[in-house]
Amino acid sequence: MSQESTPLKTPLYSFHVANGGKMVDFAGYLLPVQYPLGVMGEHLQCRNSAALFDVSHMGQAMLRATNGDDVAALMEELVPGGITSLHDNRIRYTLLTDDHGGIRDDLMVTRRGEDIWLVVNAACKNADFEHISASLSGRAALEIYDQALLALQGPQAVHVLERILPGCAELPFMAAREATWQGHDLFITRCGYTGEDGFEISLENEIAADFADLLLRDEAVGLCGLGARDSLRLEAGLCLYGHDIDLQTNPAEADLMWTIPKRRREAMDFPGAGNFLKGQDIKRKRVGIQPLGRAPAREGTEICDLEGNHIGVITSGGFAPSLSEPIAMGYVASSHQAIGTQVQLMVRGKALPAHVCAMPFVPHNYVSAKAAP
């Protein structure tokens, strides 16, 4: 194996190995796909109690204006989200779009005083940061942070973290705060990608394993790997970049128009807006799919109508531990997007019955149903 293809290790690599993590290459990093408890047990651990994930492979950076401009307004040149309306220490989920309306990445944007904090997907982070830096060259500077990121998710997460960092329980959903632990600075956000209440903790590499050990000492907390993270986000109806969304997908097709406020839709002042905001027909839509029976439909499975005509493809699919049944999401022709529409899934050469269903498959359990201002 060449040096260029050797996977990177997060600051928690030794921690994972010591705790029995089964390590795999994901987005260029060695990460645990599961621990001895297994994917189903880890999944239910998150739904019922609290789960700890290592997400240090994701990209973290601070964007600062260099010429006195409003950095939020600069960011709005690149994304369709409402960034200038963000209050301090509030978070937006938004999208980086290209000139054709395709999705470069999905990301979290946090207002931190005069600056903007970004968390982007691991597989896209180098391209994202290069794109942002080049697009805003001379007007804003991007400082990339090389530090760990932990995700503590589940209904008991707030109680676990509050015992260590008092005040975290007061954070609303999609909000952030700074904290200190043993003299070290931490940055805490109340968000996540499991459908459960939870937090992400950005901290120095040198203390990551000690802080993870401290969280794990709480009997409510269990370790979770990539397998459970994927099944949790699928049950929550959340997209995985490179699978459910990509450069060939626009926000309207992906059912992500809720991320674009009315002000931005009317102004059409972000990359690619004209390609999907001019009222033209959207020929396909991302939908939930409920297979009938026990056989899961995996990514790439063809979706057909009842006459056997191709109408779409599954982009994420598997078994839902919370429901004890298979679930999937994918894209179908817009003429077949209505909930209840009967379809067929071509699994191992057999046409299996399924229907279009609402998402999320499992209700979201965030601390508040309201998005932060």
Structural domain count of the chain: 3
Q: Does the pLDDT of residue 371 top 90, yes or no? A: no
Residue 157 and residue 37 share a domain: yes
How large a percentage of the chain has pLDDT more than 70? 97
Q: Does the pLDDT of residue 4 top 70, yes or no? A: no
Residue 151 and residue 50 share a domain: yes
Residue 277 belongs to some domain of the structure: no
Residue 227 and residue 110 share a domain: no
Residue 47 and residue 153 share a domain: yes
Task: For 241-301, give the DSSP string.
Answer: BTTTB-TT--TTTTT-GGGS-HHHHHHT-STTGGGTSSSPPP-EEEEEEEESSS----TT-
| pLDDT band, very low/low/confident/very high, at 368 (cuts 50, 70, 90) | confident
**Beta strands across the sheet bearing 115-120:** 91-97, 103-112, 115-120, 59-65, 140-145
| pLDDT band, very low/low/confident/very high, at 278 (cuts 50, 70, 90) | confident
CA dist list (Å): 5 to 2, 127, 130, 193: 5, 17, 21, 28
Residue 272 belongs to some domain of the structure: no
Residue 85 and residue 223 share a domain: no
Q: Does the pLDDT of residue 97 top 50, yes or no? A: yes
Task: For 325-371, give the DSSP string.
Answer: EEEEEEEEEGGG-STT-EEEEEETTEEEEEEEE-S-SS--B-S-SSP
Given the structure tokens 């396909």, which residue do they identify? 284
Pairing of strands 22-26, 284-291: unpaired
Residue 319 belongs to some domain of the structure: yes
Residue 212, domain CATH: 3.30.1360.120
| pLDDT band, very low/low/confident/very high, at 369 (cuts 50, 70, 90) | very low
Residue 267 belongs to some domain of the structure: no
pLDDT tens across 224-244, in order? 999 999 999 999 999 999 999
7/1 Cα distance (integer angstroms): 10
| pLDDT band, very low/low/confident/very high, at 2 (cuts 50, 70, 90) | very low
* Mean pLDDT value of segment 259-268: 97
Q: Does the pLDDT of residue 370 top 50, yes or no? A: no
Q: Does the pLDDT of residue 294 top 70, yes or no? A: yes
Residue 96 and residue 81 share a domain: yes
Q: Does the pLDDT of residue 372 top 70, yes or no? A: no
- Cβ neighbour number for residue 255 with a 10 Å cutoff: 20
| pLDDT band, very low/low/confident/very high, at 70 (cuts 50, 70, 90) | very high
Residue 66 and residue 125 share a domain: yes
* Mean pLDDT value of segment 19-31: 97
Residue 80 and residue 48 share a domain: no
Q: Does the pLDDT of residue 280 top 90, yes or no? A: no
Residue 339: give the domain boundaries: 283-357
13/235 Cα distance (integer angstroms): 28
Helix (H, G, I), strand (E, B) or coil at 18: helix
